[in-house]
Structure 1
């Protein structure tokens, strides 16, 4: 098998720049990398969009999803040319399960009390609700071990998630048919680390724990790259 293209899928309250420290590690290995912008409007729509990106890539694809991006790759990963999944502090949903349902089985993280809800217009219908993180609290909750000046930039450049996505059930669970790896951010204040552990264990993933904030790929890019390398080597063997 040829080396897969690595498609990095960002999560809520972030954008493609959240992979800025990881991408150079992968490019230095000679890997093809794509970092699409996720609309963050609905789980089904976001997964459909990522699946469309994957469908235009020749050859195998390794999907890497951070946070909410984990839920997106869980659905989009059923595409025929996806050969593996890597979750970074992510949601590994089961088929028919929503983000809210998975989180609801565990104590809230500090994120819950720092969320901000803002209406946004939708053509021909009622306003939707954008969910973001309080700008002042973003660094401590989302990026505690990231450079403080960078964390401030990330705080004011969030890509919100539409509130409806939290209650939307996953239409598929690609980890049931594709090999998967998971990184737990053990000092995560955005997702309760036990939510990550539960999803990974249920999926029988190869799991690595890193003492990190939620933005593990910015704080520990070399360690994250090592997990991706392991996935590629395993898939190719």
Structure 2
């Protein structure tokens, strides 16, 4: 590969592009081209289609890095021809035909399960949809443990919820079957059982897996370590 790839950072549920801010800063300071698009968290198919369209309009190769639900999104969107690699950060690695709920169902629940909030949102011409978010008071401990309290409190009141329907929606493809991948396990994750991450990474045969003794929002608590996994992936791709 002669062109340095554009690094596209993909956020997950209950977060937004700002969740990647410390890593974004580090990558920009190292001279990388970085993009951090929004994920609308409406459905896996729609979110992946939106990301794939975004990626395909970038000239040259792209390395995708997905956090949490963003891992499921890059698993599908990563089938785009110009995607050269996938980095999973505390992420879901779905197989083709598998849903988030099915993957999680094989493991004990995380602390998140007891702290979810369900609200309705309007759907034009149809029944209301259901959004899922994290209890504001529980958010710092469950989602952002290890992040400064004053930051976690801001993140808690600015969540981007995930439509409940996304949990049962099967992945239409699994890009890791044809694209190289790397993974980060958050060993102190209270949002996703770390064994879900480990299982998905092992099944996908990722080139390397790094365990960080950090929380689910590891990009905020350990940005240098996360950035290094991404830049090491770029170096390995040549």
- TM-score with structure 2 length normalisation? 0.99
Give the aligned partner of residue 212 of structure 2. Answer: 210
Question: In 2, distance between residues paired with 1:106 and 1:186?
Answer: 15
- In the TM superposition, what is the alpha-carbon distance from 1:169 to its structure 2 partner? 0.1
| Deviation per residue, 1:72-121 (Å, 9 max, x gap) | 00000000000000000000000000000000000000000100000111
In structure 2, stretches of 5+ residues that fail to align are: none
Counting matched residue pairs gives 236
Match of 1:208, SS state, is: strand
The within-5 A match list for 1:1-237 is 1=1, 2-205=3-206, 206-236=208-238
Task: Tell me the SS of whatever aligns to 2:112.
Answer: helix
Greater than 4 Å deviation, 4+ residue runs: none
SS in 1 for 2:233: helix
Which segments of 5 or more consecutive residues in structure 1 lack a partner in the other structure? Answer: none
- Paired with 1:129 and 1:101, the residues of 2 have a C-alpha distance of 19
Report the CA distance between 1:208 and its aligned residue. 0.4
Determine the C-alpha separation between the residues in 2 that align with 1:226 and 1:161.
Answer: 29
1:132 and 1:143 map into 2 onto residues whose CA distance is 14
Query: What secondary structure, in the 3-state scheme, does the structure 2 residue paired with 1:65 have?
Result: strand
What SS does structure 1 have at the residue aligned with 2:210? strand
Q: 1:43 Cα deviation (Å)?
A: 0.0
Relative to the length of structure 1, the TM-score reads 0.99
